[in-house]
Chains A and B, each alone.
Chain A
Amino acid sequence: MKKLLLILLILSSYGFSAGENNCGSLEKCDAFSSNVHDLYSLQRGLGIYMNYCASCHTLKLLRWNRLQKDLVIPENIITEELIRTPDTKIADHMTFGMPDVSPIGAPDLTLRTRVRGDEWIYTYLRTFYEDPSQTSGSNNLVYVGTAMPNVLAGLQGNQALDTGGTLVSISEGSMTAEEFDDSMKDLVNFLAYAAEPARITREKNGVFVILFFIVFTAVMNLLYREYAKELK
């Protein structure tokens, strides 16, 4: 019986080790986990979003005034510079005047990091390469055959796939590789914030709740012990 258990254990551990491939044609996505507590990073991420994403992708679950409050942006910058559509009020959602369903099939990005995960998005944004067989002229290692054109090429420069299947830079963009990676981290941080604005308060205040219950447990334990003495 014990031998059987052992065999079972070995067999199961073998079964467990077979990992899942959920990063497109890549073995593994690049490690990254978003941080929504770096205000400047979120603001920079918003900047990239407004410049490169907002012309196609809505954030239809996020309100302008929520963004204003959480990212500490002066109201006049929101109303005068960021809201570019007339009749949009500050309490409205960030749809940038686009219809509910995108005519070109660009998905709404509010919940995207929750659907795909931070790592997927971070890797996806950085693995575009030139592919003339695609209508958009570019392809992606993570989302093979993506319809999205490489709008970030101006920043990153163009990449191509060499015969070994790795990405090589073929032209320079306005940013160095590190600068670009940092920018994409900002963007993913911003998207992670958009996916769950409450995450800022949640992660900030959770510590106090847990500390309270640690004290609670300690006091209750003393109380219990006082009475448990009689149970000897």
Chain B
Amino acid sequence: MSKNKQGKKHIHILDGMSLYKRDKSPFYWGYLNVGGEIYKKSLKTRDKREAEKFLFEWKSKLLLDKSLNKLNGNLEMDVLKNPVVNNTRRKALMITSSLMGAVTVAGFAVPFLSAWNPSERAKALGASVKFDLSKLEPGAMAVVEWRRTPIFVVHQTPKALENLPKLNNRVTDPVLSEGVARSTNEKFTVLKGVCTHLSCAPKYHPEIEPKAWDEQWLGGFFCPCHGSKFDLAGRVYKGVPAPTNLEVPPHTFEGDTLIIGELT
């Protein structure tokens, strides 16, 4: 038994090697002096014989570390020194957890992406609108607002309906299979009042008379922005900037009531 400066009781083993007990710790602690460097740690045992054994093991490990250090300098982090690798298991776990991660990310993405869909308020504002057709005289046009778009509702005159097939060779897309007036109702045509060229609003010119833009005008829509011409059913003339017919919005007729927009 000897006492060092700090007053701890040391059990001398060899030169530079001793065991000691510390306050509060039930274990034996080891003290090593390897070439002038002091090492101390708990040996995590209450048994003296075992503690001695651990102390020797520790010293030889330190010596080995030191010699390796001197020889080729490949002393590494403890964790990298003794890898316990099971590669198949590792690979399987990596794949499973990557899949879980991907599902998590996708799961998080769903609500965030769906939040950009039209909200219930937008749907309410964009809901179908009703229009009473009984007050629309033949030859007259009404503009109904639907989803912030002017919708042209035209009450075709018999004369106009007669004239439409005559224009078949002057329009780009003459097919009238969708109905002469391009609607489910022979008398009324429903069109989006948006020029298919650059989104101006075409003007309604039902008169059958020579116009500045067309000598043989049989009535239709003329876009003042870039001179696109459409007939009364919204079919686009050949040789104008607009590429396609005026669009027909979804609509249904219920007796005298026109419903513009999808039915709920």
Contacts and interface: CB of A to CB of B under 8 A. Distances in A.
Interface of A: 63, 65-66, 75, 89-92, 209, 212, 215-216, 219-220, 222-223, 226, 229-231
A65 B93 contact: no
B264 A90 contact: yes
B95 to A, nearest CB: 10
Nearest to A64: B124
Interface in B101-127: 103-104, 107, 120, 123-124, 127
Given A63-B124, A212-B103, A226-B86, 14 more contacts: A63-B120, A66-B120, A91-B123, A209-B107, A215-B100, A216-B100, A219-B93, A219-B96, A219-B97, A223-B97, A229-B84, A230-B80, A230-B83, A231-B79
Contact of B124 (A92, A230, A231): A92
Contacts of B96: 219, 223
Contact of B100 (A75, A92, A220, A226): A220
Nearest to B120: A63
A65 B79 CA distance: 62
Contact of B84 (A65, A216, A230): A230
B70 interface: no
B127 A91 contact: yes
Contacts of A226: 86, 89-90, 93
B94 interface: yes
A222 B94 CA distance: 10
Contacts of B89: 226
B interface secondary structure, majority: helix
B104 A216 contact: yes
13 contacts: A63-B124, A65-B120, A65-B264, A92-B124, A209-B107, A216-B100, A219-B93, A219-B100, A223-B93, A226-B93, A229-B84, A230-B82, A231-B79
Nearest to B89: A226
B97 A89 contact: no
A90 B264 CA distance: 9
A82 to B, nearest CB: 16
A206 to B, nearest CB: 13
A209 B110 CA distance: 13
B118 to A, nearest CB: 12
A124 B103 CA distance: 47
A230 B100 CA distance: 24
A219 B84 CA distance: 19
A222 B107 CA distance: 22
B61 to A, nearest CB: 14
Contact of A91 (B100, B103, B120): B120
Please name the 10 residue pairs, one residue from A and one from B, whose CB atoms are nearest each other, closest first: A91-B124, A223-B93, A229-B84, A223-B97, A230-B79, A91-B127, A216-B100, A219-B97, A219-B100, A219-B96
B86 A220 contact: no
A220 B103 CA distance: 14
A101 B47 CA distance: 84
Contacts of A222: 93
A223 B103 CA distance: 17
Contacts of B80: 230
Contacts of B97: 219-220, 223
A217 to B, nearest CB: 10
A230 to B, nearest CB: 5
Nearest to A90: B264
A229 B107 CA distance: 31
Contacts of A209: 107
B77 to A, nearest CB: 10
A89 B86 contact: no
B41 to A, nearest CB: 15
A75 B79 contact: no
Contact of A223 (B86, B94, B123): B94
A219 B100 CA distance: 8
A212 B104 CA distance: 9
A184 to B, nearest CB: 30
Contacts of B123: 91
A66 B94 CA distance: 44
Nearest to B86: A226
Contacts of B100: 215-216, 219-220
A187 to B, nearest CB: 25
Contacts of A216: 100, 104
A75 B264 CA distance: 9
